[in-house]
Amino acid sequence: MGIRITVVQGDITEQRVDAVVNAANRGMRGGGGVDGAIHAAGGPEVLADCVRRFPHGLATGAAGWTTAGLMPARWVIHVVGPNHRAGETDRSLLLSCYSGALAVADELGAGTVAFPLVSAGVYGWPRADAIAAALEALGSTPTSVVEARLVAFDAAAHAEIGAALSGRPGS
């Protein structure tokens, strides 16, 4: 049986899953949006682990993990999405964030993973394509992850993801 993709509206830092995915920047030292929220909720251990594990940051499209610190999840899987506003429009880098996160989840033994819409916030990736890319990568990447939970910050994103999910074959 393949991965079950679900959608919820809420705060990714409060998800009771094995791992949450952080839409990080290349520097891996915290930032705004999801990245800032995860660092704030996880506490100083998340940043300390980022500094230790990623002394030179992480490349766009790459994935790596740290502790989740004070969050209910056990791990944070950090991915660096392409910055559409800065001209990074290679969709394969966006797909790589999801497939890379699943590969890291498999290495960790994580069965449940909560994802934001990578690059759809401050990085300006068009939301409809960000949703399509997430569903494409999550639905086609071989993994032992049982549930990939897309966490929508607001009602509009929740409705759009839900509509895209209901239109998928097999849903």
Q: Tell me: the pLDDT tens digits for 42-83? A: 999 999 999 999 999 999 999 999 999 999 999 999 999 999
| CA pair distance 100, 102, nearest whole angstrom | 5
**Residue 78 is encoded by which pair of tokens?**
């950090």
More confident: 107 or 1 = 107
Name every residue whose Cβ is closer than 8 Å to that of residue 108 and which is 6 or more positions away in sequence: 18, 19, 65, 74, 75, 77
Confidence of residue 168 (pLDDT cuts 50, 70, 90): confident
Residue pointed to by tokens 């990074």: 88
Query: How high is the pLDDT of residue 169?
Result: 67
Question: How many whole angstroms from its chain centre is CA 148?
Answer: 10
**Per-residue pLDDT, 1:** 55
Tell me the DSSP string of 8-21: EES-GGG--SSEEE
Residues in the chain: 171
What are 7-24's pLDDT values in tens digits? 999 999 999 999 999 999
Q: How far apart are CA 94 and CA 62, in angstroms?
A: 9
Instruction: Dump pLDDT digits (tens) for 117-150.
Output: 999 999 999 999 999 999 999 999 999 999 999 9
86-121, pLDDT tens digit by residue? 999 999 999 999 999 999 999 999 999 999 999 999
Look at the block and give the residue holding tokens 């100083």: 44
Dist CA 149 CA 146 (whole Å): 10
Question: What span, in angstroms and rounded, lies between the C-alpha atoms of 136 and 86?
Answer: 24
Could you give the domains of the chain?
Answer: 4-166 (3.40.220.10)
Annotation says 90 is catalytic: no
* pLDDT value of residue 124: 95
pLDDT band for 171, please (50, 70, 90 cuts).
low
Coil/strand/helix, residue 150? strand
Q: Which residue is catalytic, options 18, 35, 49, 129?
A: 35
